[in-house]
């Protein structure tokens, strides 16, 4: 007997009309069947339900153990890397705790605090470069600020050589590009891994004080994988892939969306300048309203999961966290979910996830976002969108930012003289 047809929402790989897709997800209930580039999943947009599922032990991120469709999907799915890499992103239970513990040493509160001065220096250098463009020349702030700051921070954290920065950027952009064919995606994955293998080999020859060298040391001296207590060679490579990708693309979108929201809501910028809201408020509201990751593939039901309203996600089926829709859901934010309001009393959001897989890099992303926004708007008080600027979305159903962010800087504020 054939199964009855299911009304699946086909997610747009170009992300060209995120608002309409968000409204559709809200209208279909807390969880709804979707098609993500030909793969079936359950999109969860209700924030309360999503919170519950993200911390539910019956929901796994390990496709090898808990997704029966894995072997069939991976050879031809453009997003195969999102589910096939072996790192803490796709680990569950004890394996996840082991891998997260190794990476977590690079993101302690003490280390993030120590990075604050360096983030300030890097931001100042980028703003100096922008000032040279002149007040009336259109400048793309995604390209000139939102991109290079996170790239430089991650490069220094991982010890990336100068000649690899742009190559890694291109590879990461293509990981998030959901318009690629399976062949294009596969070629990018091969190139990405070749760069990572070269980086690991170079750091083995000449280790430093960076995170890459520390992970290699853990791999080479503390055994292998779950039995040895450290990590396998595959996990080493894929952990570096995760840190490069997650530590860069999401922060780019955070800075991009923060700038765009302030420039399209001048009343909110005025509140910040009047001291009625802080830059931390701007960052949190931007994260809520425009989650840097719109949909995050994938999680899997370890057993049948009954949801409110009589819906059941069957064992072995995939679950998609729809963060962009959750951030504007009327069940939590009422009719003002799509508004950008820096004085909103409750700016709670799921942009960094929730539960065991909450983003380790969240404090660093917040630091970079607050620093970049504060310094940018202080340095260029007359900053405005360029005439006829079109804020087109990046071509992705995952990444939630703009293709370009063209602005006119205006005249920079006078700079205080440097102490001698």
The reply to whether 285 falls in a domain is: yes
**If pLDDT is split at 50, 70 and 90, which confidence band does 1 have?**
very low
Please write the tens of the pLDDT for every residue from 138-169. Answer: 999 999 999 999 999 999 999 999 888 889 99
The whole-number pLDDT of residue 212 equals: 93
- Among 96-100, 132-136, 151-155, 387-391, the least confident range: 132-136
Residue 83 CA to residue 102 CA, distance in Å, equals: 21
Residue 267 CA to residue 246 CA, distance in Å, equals: 32
- For range 39-66, the mean pLDDT: 97
CATH of the domain at 372: 1.10.630.10
The reply to whether 75 falls in a domain is: yes
196 pLDDT higher than 90: yes
- Phi and psi at 290, nearest 5°, equal -135, 75
Domain limits for position 14: 9-408
What is the CB-side half-sphere exposure of residue 226 using CA atoms within 13 A?
10
- For range 241-255, the mean pLDDT: 93
Residue 30 CA to residue 321 CA, distance in Å, equals: 11
The reply to whether 382 falls in a domain is: yes
C-alpha dihedral sign at 297, 300, 304, 307: negative
- Among 220-224, 258-262, 296-300, the least confident range: 220-224
The whole-number pLDDT of residue 220 equals: 79
The whole-number pLDDT of residue 380 equals: 97
What is the CB-side half-sphere exposure of residue 78 using CA atoms within 13 A?
18
The reply to whether 417 falls in a domain is: no
The reply to whether 419 falls in a domain is: no
The reply to whether 404 falls in a domain is: yes
The reply to whether 176 falls in a domain is: yes
The reply to whether 129 falls in a domain is: yes
- For range 35-64, the mean pLDDT: 97
Please state the length of the chain.
420
Spatial neighbors of 297 by CB under 8 A, at least 6 apart, are 36, 41, 79, 82, 83, 318, 320, 398
54 pLDDT higher than 80: yes
The whole-number pLDDT of residue 226 equals: 46
- For range 390-396, the mean pLDDT: 94
Please write the tens of the pLDDT for every residue from 76-117. Answer: 999 999 999 999 999 999 999 999 998 888 888 888 888 999
What is the CB-side half-sphere exposure of residue 38 using CA atoms within 13 A?
14
**Number of independent structural domains in the chain:** 1
**If pLDDT is split at 50, 70 and 90, which confidence band does 229 have?**
low
327 pLDDT higher than 50: yes
């Amino acid at each position: 007997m054939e199964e009855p047809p299911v009304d699946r929402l086909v997610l747009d790989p170009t992300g060209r009309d995120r608002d309409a897709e968000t409204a559709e997800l809200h209208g279909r209930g807390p969880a709804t069947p979707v098609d993500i580039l030909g793969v079936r999943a359950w999109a969860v947009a209700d924030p309360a339900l999503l919170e519950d599922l993200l911390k539910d032990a019956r929901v796994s991120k390990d496709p090898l153990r808990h997704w029966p469709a894995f072997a069939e999907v991976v050879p031809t799915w453009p997003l195969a890397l999102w589910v096939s890499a072996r790192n803490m992103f796709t680990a569950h239970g004890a394996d996840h705790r082991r891998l997260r513990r190794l990476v977590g040493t690079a993101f302690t509160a003490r280390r993030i605090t120590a990075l604050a001065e360096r983030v300030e220096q890097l931001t100042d250098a980028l703003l100096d470069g922008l000032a040279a463009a002149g007040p009336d020349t259109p400048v793309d702030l995604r390209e000139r600020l939102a991109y290079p700051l996170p790239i430089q921070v991650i490069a220094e954290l991982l010890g990336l050589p100068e000649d690899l920065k742009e190559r890694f950027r291109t590879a990461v952009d293509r990981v998030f590009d959901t318009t690629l064919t399976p062949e294009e995606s596969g070629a990018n994955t091969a190139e990405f891994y070749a760069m990572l293998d070269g980086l690991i080999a170079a750091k083995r020859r000449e280790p430093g004080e960076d995170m890459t060298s520390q992970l290699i040391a853990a791999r080479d001296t503390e055994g292998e994988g779950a039995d040895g207590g450290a990590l396998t060679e595959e996990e080493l490579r894929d952990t570096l892939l995760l840190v490069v990708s997650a530590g860069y693309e999401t922060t780019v979108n955070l800075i991009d969306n923060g700038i765009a929201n302030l420039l399209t809501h001048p009343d909110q910028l005025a509140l910040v300048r009047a001291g009625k809201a802080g830059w931390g408020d701007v960052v949190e509201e931007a994260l809520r309203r425009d989650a840097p990751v719109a949909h995050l593939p994938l999680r899997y039901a370890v057993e049948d999961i009954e949801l409110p309203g009589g819906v059941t996600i069957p064992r072995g089926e995939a679950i998609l966290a729809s963060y962009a829709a959750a951030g504007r859901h009327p069940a939590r934010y009422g009719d003002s979910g799509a508004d950008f309001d820096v004085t909103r009393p409750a700016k709670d959001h799921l942009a960094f996830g929730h539960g065991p897989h909450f983003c380790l890099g969240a404090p660093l992303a917040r630091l970079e976002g607050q620093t970049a926004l504060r310094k940018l708007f202080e340095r260029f008080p007359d900053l405005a969108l360029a005439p006829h600027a079109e804020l087109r979305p990046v071509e992705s159903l995952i990444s939630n930012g703009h293709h370009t962010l063209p602005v006119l800087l205006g005249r920079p504020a006078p700079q205080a003289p440097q102490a001698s």
